[in-house]
Structure 1
């Protein structure tokens, strides 16, 4: 592999390393995951207080257990859905505000026999986590409406049990500070997540530009060492342009130029695979076999797979030169399926009858075995008078 090709491979590897790994996601997704975890822990601390408060009451009314069970079930629904989908559902957040934050204290007061401030406190605590959740999930007006509704209902609820002004003031501060702190935290994390995504996008664009420049540089050097050198020599008049060896060299380099022109601007070739196949083609052309090669959206493959394809394709081209009785072969390489690869080598020779043919060492060892060793397979399709098609596929 040439130095520029190695640099291109390294650039693409660095570019791949900058992409978010599977299961990690973008910066914004990471911020969302962190907020889900933070608010979940906040709600879990309030539920823990509720479990302890209800468990310690020996004369607990069944309604108290039902209210605690309802709070637990709704919390599991809200946070379970968020963990599964990556963010909260606004309708479930509204249900949490109305049921857990607003209705629960009045159910305890009306049917649970709760008439004292300490016994209703655990239900009031849940309003703090409900207000924080509303502040980061709901639209601004809806969030303000939900928080105002929590404030009014909780102040009225504490008033029913005769809570002191200090308790009312402290709880009001808890509701509003929970919403404010959660909103500020979410604003900061979301901003940092977006900045991280923008930085990654700029880095990816820069690495992509470097990779494309390295690819162009590789082509320029190849043209300098081949086509330009030939044209310069011909222009100097030092050799006979009609000499067989000169015409043969011009034909090989014309085929190379043709392959470059056929590549579209959007095609991105994996450097190791593309270079390996092109080396196999040039090797065959140096032995006076004309090869029409086309490459389409080559996927990235492990180095050992690229080497196996190149070696198997080289042997298939050698077989065309030795046995097909034709001086022309066709090689096509393209992506297949989910990141798979298909390479075909075709000739228009006389072909043969597969039932009367015993594969030689080259076909057995250099084609079939090489592909099988890397988890691929080789198929030979031929018939008398139909030429030969060698199909190399990975994975098998």
Structure 2
């Protein structure tokens, strides 16, 4: 856009040079006006080329001096009284409006274009220009601003689309790399840790033999490095990962959990942690109080709202919700955690009907 508007200004300056050289060779005011327009063009566009974009005060200087003051200076000091003679200076207003349309914010750009239009109306009225000449120049000025703004909007839009496409491509490549790395780790685990455990489980070797213990220690160190690397590269901020950690912890305490996840959205890390902690406490309640070794956890995203609903269900004996049983931790560990992040927890139960804990965010 800098180069495009520079070429546009250069075409107008070329018209001015030809007009002054052919008709006003002996008039120093004309040369001074042309030199002023050239100097402001160099300042505005030269600075933009060096620094990467236009500076607001330079654009305003170009609009006010080149676009607004220059025509009146020619009228007052050079005695210009014909539309054709004044026309080359009016042309510069069109290139000034194109720069203002892309370099200034909307309100300032509108003010600059209005000033340039008023300059055209007043200047051409002073020299008695016909309505056709006046309309043509005003139309050119407005069209220059509109087309420059449309081109600038289109280029920015295409740039955003390109950035988004590049981001998706990078994410896809990263996903493929993670999958390939995970597959390599699976193969290594199959050939080392799983092979060792299978051999020991089958009774083919003495688990206390020094060589077996040495191999187990070596493979345990490998597992620790693998887990540490995964934890460093993939922090558990996603709701699915946080809930899976709670499920794994419950399974480590001999509770079988059937977990299902569907359409989970991105949520803030503190929300994911609160949901996982509350779900973990609900699973702990199943293990401690429900007299059943099986629980069901379901997590779904709410369509269109970005919310999450997590339910923990057991088929135990249930209890009377009017009676607060000691040790359930529903008030602090479950309801309290959800309330802190703007969610809520509800419990649906009855004697002989099991317990259903629902965690909802946002409330």
| TM-score, normalised with respect to structure 2 | 0.60
Distance 1:266 1:203, change over 3 A: farther
Partners of 1:61 and 1:113 within 8 A in 2: no
Q: Residue 205 of structure 1 is aligned with which of 171, 175, 178?
A: 171
* Partner SS state of residue 26, structure 2: coil
Equivalent-residue separation in structure 1 for 2:189 and 2:4 (angstroms): 59
The yes-or-no answer on 1:173 pairing with 2:139 is: yes
Check if 1:150 corresponds to 2:116.
yes
Partners of 2:87 and 2:232 in 1: how far apart?
Answer: 64
Structure 1 unaligned regions, length at least 5? 1-34, 269-396
1:112 matched residue in structure 2: 78
Q: Separation in 2 of the partners of 1:218 and 1:76?
A: 60
> CA shift at 1:97, angstroms?
0.9
Deviation at 1:87, TM superposition (A): 2.1
SS of the equivalent of 1:263 reads: helix
Residue correspondence of structure 1 range 1-396 to structure 2 within 5 A: 35-263=1-229, 265-267=231-233
What CA distance in whole angstroms lies between the structure 2 residues aligned with 1:94 and 1:209? 49
Kindly indicate whether the alpha-carbon contact (under 8 Å) linking 1:151 and 1:175 is maintained by their aligned counterparts in 2: yes
Please give the alpha-carbon distance, in whole angstroms, between the structure 2 residues aligned to 1:258 and 1:197: 38
The alpha-carbon deviation at position 153 of structure 1 amounts to 1.0
1:126 Cα deviation from its structure 2 partner: 0.5
> Residues 265 and 68 (structure 1 numbering): CA distance in 2 closer, same or farther, change over 3 Å?
farther
Aligned-pair CA distance for 1:157 = 1.1
For residues 229 and 145 of structure 2, what CA distance do their matches in structure 1 show?
57
The 8 Å contact of residues 54 and 60 in structure 1, kept in 2 or not, is answered as: no
Provide the rounded CA distance (Å) in 2 between the counterparts of 1:228 and 1:65.
89
Query: What is the CA–CA distance in structure 2 between the aligned matches of 1:58 and 1:46, rounded to whole Å?
Result: 17
**In angstroms, what is the RMSD of aligned CA positions?**
2.0
CA shift for structure 1 position 58? 5.0
Q: 2: distance between equivalents of 1:60 and 1:179?
A: 35
Query: Which whole-Å deviations, capped at 9, do the CAs of 1:164-195 have from their partners, x for residues lacking one?
Result: 22211111111111112212222222222222
1:239 is paired with a residue whose SS is: coil
Where relative contact order (Cα < 8 A, 6+ residues apart) is larger, the structure is 1
Please report how far the alpha carbon of residue 266 of structure 1 lies from its aligned counterpart in structure 2 after TM superposition: 4.3
Unaligned 5+ runs, structure 2 = 235-363
Q: How many residues align?
A: 234
Contact 1:96 1:130 (8 Å CA) reproduced: yes
Q: Larger Rg: 1 or 2? A: 2
TM-score computed with the length of structure 1 as normaliser: 0.55
CA contact (8 A) 1:54 1:64 kept: yes
Change (3 A) 1:143 1:256: same
